[in-house]
Amino acid sequence: MEATVLYQEKKRGGSEWGEITLNRPQKGNALTLPMLDEIECYVHGLKAAKSIRALVLRGNGRFFCTGGDIEAWGTLTPNEMSGRWALRGIQVLEMIAALPQPVIAAISGHALGGGLELALMADLRVAVRAANLGTPEVGLGMISGWTGVCRLAEIVGVARARELTLLGSPISAEKAYDWGLLNALADDADAMELQIDSWLDRIFANSAPAMALTKSLLQAMHADASLRHAAAAGLARSTEDSSEGIAAFRAKRKPVFRSG
């Protein structure tokens, strides 16, 4: 069975970096609990690997990541949604954000829901112009449960975070760049690789301990958000709207929300 998460170590100019690639292209690289376990294993190794100077996150195929696989969380109870899914996802994603090495998200296709939350854990984000980014969870009667709401507000401001999370409509990569959600915008995949190479060269020229200390200061801002997000995800899953949203998704129809 082909691995759903791949890891490679690469070298450029005498310096090494790691690459984690989501490898479920037929499912839009949607995340499952086993995939989170795989990511955690690789990230745990990276934390202690002093020779690895950076991490690049990628998705194989047309999508960067379409979020959490609805087949993985759609049958969970509210308590399971909070504990088994939301807290677990937060734990793994926060491990990425807490890495001492700079993290780059290479967004070669759409980044939606949990996929965008994964990209938000990176220190630098570049996307191809054709990509869309968004948090469509409210259309399923759910919320962004992996701390994405707070991180969006931090990065793009509260007003724009409200627009993205409450309307649930994806925005273009160009708009995301204008908002500051992306650090760079690339016309195509080749241009994106050139941008990543440029960032890697700059990272390799910097002091690794100084960058690690800087990252630890920034990461401290998110220390208390995990439990609040997980509890909110469980509460959202307890609603009739969530059940209707899941049923509508599976039936490929528009949900009819009746709660007011």
DSSP E strands, 13-148: 15-22, 52-59, 63-65, 103-107, 110-112, 124-128, 132-134
Residue closest to 93 by CA, chosen among 116, 70, 125, 59:
116
Beta bridge partners of 65: 111
The residue ranges of DSSP E strands in the chain, in sequence order, are 5-12, 15-22, 52-59, 63-65, 103-107, 110-112, 124-128, 132-134, 171-172, 184-186
The alpha carbon of residue 14 and the mean position of all alpha carbons in its chain are separated, in whole angstroms, by 29
In order, the DSSP letters of 169-190 are --EEHHHHHHHTS-SEEESSHH
- Which candidate in 19, 38, 94, 137 is catalytic? 137
Catalytic residue (one of 38, 117, 193, 244): 117
Rounded distance between C-alpha atoms, residue 60 and residue 20, angstroms? 10
Per 3-state DSSP, the chain is made up of helix, strand and coil in percentages (nearest 5) of 55, 20, 30
40 a catalytic residue:
no
Q: Is residue 19 annotated as part of the catalytic site, yes or no?
A: no
Scanning the structure block, which residue is given the tokens 């734990």? Answer: 91
Contact indicator for 149, 229 with CB cutoff of 8 Å: yes
Catalytic (active-site) positions: 117, 137
